[in-house]
Amino acid sequence: MPENLLEVNNLKTYFFTRGGVVKAVDDVSFTMRSGEALGVVGESGCGKSVTALSIIRLIASPPGKIVGGEILFNGENILEKNNEEMTELRGSKISMIFQDPMTSLNPVFTIGYQIAETVKRHRKGISNDQAWQRAIEMLDLVRIPDARRRAKSYPHEFSGGMRQRVMIAIALACNPQLLIADEPTTALDVTIQAQILELMKGLAKEFGTALMLITHDLGVVAGTCEDVIVMYAGHIVESAPVRQIFQTPAHPYTIGLLQSIPRLDEKRGTRLTPIPGQPPDLSREIIGCPYASRCPRVQPRCRQERPELKPVGRGEQLAACFYPS
């Protein structure tokens, strides 16, 4: 058994558009242990979703293409698998849930049927009855009241939060080793978000599933994850255990993000410190550090070479910055 469940090495996923080559994910490396809860944060366009879609090999091609690197899952390179092997892997070993629970379910089939189908696809020889029982079991597990009856309902009879529960049930039905959740609560209200996060955290622990939580909300990460990766313009700029990210952030971008969000526990009259400007255009060649144009601590060197992700002297904390704090 390899030490890491997932090992991503120098992943490069580019999009070949008419406007140029968009380097959505450019030289990204990280690892995940089994059972770990990893948060991937960043703003839209930073490459966090593309990283996830690369791992599960669902990059729309064209225009997208994984042009380099390797993704080792249980020691096997996912990028070398053929389509059949990938289909087998998806849903059974790696599952994914998306932001929009409205379009992720097929409106013409019952909830129970859709869960049972997933189970049957990945477990050869299971009977219809057993699959249906498993579906009800899963609905129970994601705390849908009266699961036996509700399994016969159609998606439109469910609210947004309930549908996201169903998605979680489908995703976990085959005991996957890795669950990728791409902004799973962004479309939901805060009270529902709290329910869903609690549920995901609990179930991942119970099943021993590793959780990769992709979000733009630092608060969500703080309460759910053990480790955090911060992405910016297709690169990982910082990676550390959750406490260190929030207490001793090293990369100026991480610091900037933390300072630009209002906190519930702040004093009245404090002013936000926004990050000036906006992310760079990824279809253009970026020389040097991608954050240089917005960085308050920028030095001439930052505009010439790109800093590597390396330890900043606090245990497991890594940052891609020449002048980390």
User: Between residue 170 and residue 189, which ones bind other proteins under the rule CB under 8 A?
Assistant: 170-171, 182, 189
User: Nearest CA to 225 among 48, 35, 39?
Assistant: 39
Near other proteins by CB under 8 A: residue from 2, 202, 274, 296: 274
Residue 293 near other proteins by CB under 8 A: yes
Nearer to other proteins, 29 or 283 (CB): 283
Near other proteins by CB under 8 A: residue from 206, 266, 305, 308: 266
Which parts of 56-95 interact with other proteins (CB under 8 A)? Answer: 56, 58-60, 64, 90-91, 95
The least CB distance from residue 10 to other proteins, in Å, is 19
Return the range that interacts with other proteins (CB under 8 A); candidates 68-76, 146-154, 205-213, 256-264.
256-264
Which parts of 27-56 interact with other proteins (CB under 8 A)? Answer: 43-45, 47-50, 53, 56
**Per-residue contact string for residues 221-250; x = within reach of other proteins by CB under 8 A:** xxx------------------xx--xx---
Return the range that interacts with other proteins (CB under 8 A); candidates 70-78, 129-137, 195-203, 205-213.
195-203
**Residue 150 structure tokens:** 């509700």
Which parts of 133-162 interact with other proteins (CB under 8 A)? Answer: 159, 161-162
Residue 318 near other proteins by CB under 8 A: no
Residue 290 near other proteins by CB under 8 A: no
Nearer to other proteins, 198 or 316 (CB): 198
Residue 211 near other proteins by CB under 8 A: no
The least CB distance from residue 276 to other proteins, in Å, is 8
**Cα–Cα distance, 167 to 25 (Å, whole number):** 27
**Amino acid letter, residue 268:** R
The least CB distance from residue 1 to other proteins, in Å, is 26
Residue 106 near other proteins by CB under 8 A: yes
Residue 323 near other proteins by CB under 8 A: no
Q: What is the 3-state secondary structure (H, E, C) of the chain?
A: CCCCCEEEEEEEEEEEECCEEEEEEEEEEEEECCCCEEEEECCCCCCHHHHHHHHCCCCCCCCEEEEEEEEEECCEEHHHCCHHHHHHHECCCEEEECCCCCCCCCCCCCHHHHHHHHHHHHCCCCCHHHHHHHHHHHHHHCCCCCHHHHCCCCHHHCCHHHHHHHHHHHHHCCCCCEEEEECCCCCCCHHHHHHHHHHHHHHHHHHCCEEEEEECCHHHHHHHCCEEEEEECCEEEEEEEHHHHHHCCCCHHHHHHHHHCCCCCCCCCCCCCCCCCCCCCCCCCCCCCCCHHHCCCCCHHHHCCCCCCEECCCCCCEECCCCCC
**Cα–Cα distance, 304 to 159 (Å, whole number):** 51
Residue 258 near other proteins by CB under 8 A: yes
Near other proteins by CB under 8 A: residue from 27, 66, 114, 238: 114
Near other proteins by CB under 8 A: residue from 77, 175, 273, 299: 273
